[in-house]
Amino acid sequence: MNTTTLVGIDTGGTFTDIVVLDEDTPGGSMRQCKVLSDPSDPSAPIVRGLRQLGLEGRRLQIIHGTTVGTNAVLEGKGARVAYVTSEGFADVLTLGRQNREEVYQLRQPELPPPVEAELCFEVRTRIGAGGEVLDLATATELVNLRERLEPLGVEAVAVNLPFSFLRPGEEQRIARALEGPWFIALSSAVLPEVGEYERGIATWLNASVGPVIARYLDRLQERLPRSRIAVMQSMGTTIAADQAAGHAVHLLLSGPAGGLAAAECIGRQSGSPKLMSFDMGGTSTDVALLNGEIPLTGRYRLGRWPVSTASVDVHTIGAGGGSIAKVDAAGMLLVGPQSAGASPGPACYGQGGLSATVTDANLVLGRIPANTLLGGYLPLDLGAAETAIAALAAGMDCEPLEAARGVITIANEHMARALRVISVERGHDPAGYGLLCFGGAGGLHACDLAELLNMSDVIIPARAGVLSALGMLVSRPGRELSAAVLELIDELTDADIGRCFEGLENTAAEQLTAEGCRPGGLQFRHRLEMRYRGQSATVAIDWQAGADHAEAFHQAHARLSGVRLPHPVEVVNVRLGAHGPAALETPRPGISADGSGPGEMLHMAELAREVEVRARDGLAPGEVMAGPVILTEKAMTAWIKPGWQVTADEWGNLRLRRAR
């Protein structure tokens, strides 16, 4: 068989999710599986899952969201990096922006710098603010630099010369002199924009994570030699695996981006473009607000580090199904952010875990039926969950059911607070949005969260338990490129700006066509990042030849800040978004439902009564059910509370609304 099978893979902290599109079956059916993740070797569960799906040895086109880069940064396990810059600038990364880590502490904690002083090197090359060369390192100096690096055991080199984005050839000259044993990241390629600290951090992160990503993807490719692999980027587009290491800083939010790619697609599919996405997995919860498109930001933080590259605008908290519940010294119940992870996992996984978790609480309350096979294969141990919750209850001096309710209540409050951060705190009323709940645990908390936020419309999409993996399939290959301008808008013509974009378009087209995209199939989005001269923050507006961009900026600035100033307007950067067609433009209809009738009745401890438990594929399109009811499928369980109604649409998505 020479056909290529399309596969989406999302590696999370607890589970690795796999979705497969079988084009050789009638209508192109989709299959899925979940396997426990292995942080020590993330590629092993992928191979195990593909074998479980019968895909071993097949020709595969894989689109992969990975946390390898994220974990390397958060755990401080990146490559050993040397930092090269101009004379007088070796301390830039250590000094940072002088932000206080703890605002009210007179004595700030001593934190290790990103690069130790002995690994920071200066060269004479100096570029001025106008792009002129003020001084130049000699060939002998660069040879000496190489000799100084060789005995230090560094694996990568980050080169960040001030104003290098105006004259990238000088960094390229240094890279040629150091070519050979080291992974090299150049600031003029990683982030060609003003801001020596932010550009330096991005370049250091790229150098630190690049070798880690390269090793991981090489190992995965060796295990899947017949596969063509692409990796999800932070901005919701994909990049070929053989190019990914060189763009490692753009992979740090790889996993959450897949979920938002699917959410945007479901918004179009369901006619509900205004959504708040809620992705609850085993380790963490990701939330975002969509207004018809994937939300992007140019600045976010990962651990201690500010990252100034384009990424999905997502807010993440340490609350998931595996979040550990405990009682502190004062008798207060705490939930998260520590997680039981994949091993040993929650107590109910039966792998030796003893701590009570959110999943254990849901199981004890009866929201998860005791006969559930987690991910379709892992039996749950109700007795172990009851023991863990009973131990927690003893510390709280209450009954086990009361302790379990407390765990769920606190977890819900954590997650509702995260949803308020991306809505209420930004001026958006949650009541005007639909709540899109997915991830393995998302359906268990959907009704509770909607009530806390006064929302009446909830969507639990088809394949909700593996939706981020499905998002890999509907994402598009793409690039987000930028170039510094730093000129007043009144001094620039459309032709001047057009030439900037033309250069970026050529670069993007060259990279994307090398990955198999047709040049005629590429789409571009042009934006200007502008500010009043003297400001540091910028506002992005769309660019179109002939438009009054100064006026568009004034209006955007007034809308965002409430003020319009009589100051000159400066173009800081031009930014190009480029993408090709998705491997799968629209998800196939989800659950094949035939209205197979009532399910079984099981006793639910939380309500002290019997509740119907029904297979999700037994709910026919248009059929309305009133809660309480539990809907189950292979990778997800949905709890429909009393006072709510649920129906399935033609795509297999569950639509929940409060009963009138």
Residue 12 in domain: yes
Could you give phi then psi for residue 199, rounded to 5 degrees?
A: -65, -40
Token pair listed for 546: 């002939």
* CB of 327 closer than 8 Å to CB of 308: no
The sheet with strand 81-86 has its strands ordered as 120-123, 81-86, 156-159, 183-186
pLDDT attached to residue 343: 77
Closest CA to 653 of 583, 579, 589, 559: 589
Element (H, E) at 552: helix 549-561
Residue 88 in domain: yes
Specify whether 147 is located in the same domain as 225.
no
Per mean pLDDT, which range of 139-143, 364-368, 454-458, 582-586 is the poorest? 582-586
Boundary-marking domain end, from 251, 276, 308: 251
Specify whether 153 is located in the same domain as 205.
yes
Confidence of residue 376 (pLDDT cuts 50, 70, 90): confident
Torsion 384-387-393-398 (CA) sign: positive
pLDDT surpassing 90 at residue 298: no
Token pair listed for 470: 């499905």
Whole-number Å distance between alpha carbons of 408 and 307? 33
Q: No. of H helices and E strands in the chain?
A: 16, 36
* Between 659 and 329, residue with greater pLDDT: 329
Whole-number Å distance between alpha carbons of 614 and 601? 9
Token pair listed for 635: 């990778």
**Angle (deg, nearest 10), helices 169-178 and 139-149:** 50
Residue 119 in domain: yes
Residue 421 in domain: no
Question: Within 10 A of 625 (CB to CB), how many other CB atoms are there?
Answer: 19
Specify whether 613 is located in the same domain as 564.
no
Specify whether 246 is located in the same domain as 165.
no
pLDDT attached to residue 304: 85
User: What is the gyration radius of the CA atoms in the chain, in angstroms?
Assistant: 26
Which CATH number is 84's domain given? 3.40.50
Residue 9 in domain: yes
Question: Within 10 A of 240 (CB to CB), how many other CB atoms are there?
Answer: 16
pLDDT attached to residue 588: 59
Specify whether 83 is located in the same domain as 203.
yes
pLDDT tens digits, one per residue of 216-239: 999 999 999 999 999 999 999 999
pLDDT tens digits, one per residue of 256-278: 899 999 999 999 888 889 999 99
Specify whether 147 is located in the same domain as 186.
yes
Sorted by sequence, the CB contacts under 8 Å of residue 408 that are 6+ apart come out as 358, 361, 362, 365, 445, 448
Specify whether 100 is located in the same domain as 51.
no
**Mean predicted confidence (pLDDT) in 155-183:** 95
* Between 195 and 28, residue with greater pLDDT: 195
pLDDT tens digits, one per residue of 608-646: 999 999 988 888 888 899 989 999 988 889 999 999 999
Closest CA to 211 of 33, 81, 370, 310: 81
Specify whether 499 is located in the same domain as 571.
yes
pLDDT surpassing 70 at residue 595: no
Q: Reduce the secondary structure of 379-399 to three states and give it as a string.
A: ECCHHHHHHHHHHHHHHHCCC
pLDDT attached to residue 25: 53
Whole-number Å distance between alpha carbons of 283 and 339? 6
Specify whether 85 is located in the same domain as 204.
yes
Specify whether 189 is located in the same domain as 122.
yes
pLDDT attached to residue 217: 95
Specify whether 189 is located in the same domain as 102.
yes
pLDDT surpassing 70 at residue 597: no
Residue 457 in domain: no
Confidence of residue 1 (pLDDT cuts 50, 70, 90): very low
Residue 492 in domain: yes
Residue 509 has what DSSP assignment?
H
Mean pLDDT, the chain, rounded, equals: 91
Specify whether 68 is located in the same domain as 136.
no
Confidence of residue 429 (pLDDT cuts 50, 70, 90): very high
| 231 burial via Cβ count (<10 Å: 0-12, 13-18, 19+) | buried
Global pTM reads: 0.88
Whole-number Å distance between alpha carbons of 393 and 1? 57
Which CATH number is 223's domain given? 3.30.420.40
Residue 654 in domain: yes
pLDDT surpassing 80 at residue 598: no
pLDDT surpassing 90 at residue 108: no
Q: Is the previous residue joined to 379 through a cis bond, with omega within 30 degrees of 0?
A: no
Element (H, E) at 474: helix 467-474
pLDDT attached to residue 85: 97
Question: Within 10 A of 395 (CB to CB), how many other CB atoms are there?
Answer: 15
Question: Within 10 A of 496 (CB to CB), how many other CB atoms are there?
Answer: 12
Boundary-marking domain end, from 533, 548, 579: 579
Boundary-marking domain end, from 209, 243, 266: 209
Sorted by sequence, the CB contacts under 8 Å of residue 12 that are 6+ apart come out as 37, 67, 255, 281, 282, 283, 468
pLDDT tens digits, one per residue of 170-220: 999 999 999 989 999 999 999 999 989 999 999 999 999 999 999 999 999
531 is in which domain, residue-wise? 480-579
Confidence of residue 107 (pLDDT cuts 50, 70, 90): confident
pLDDT tens digits, one per residue of 536-590: 889 999 999 999 999 999 999 999 888 999 999 999 999 999 999 988 877 655 5
The structural domain count of the chain equals 4
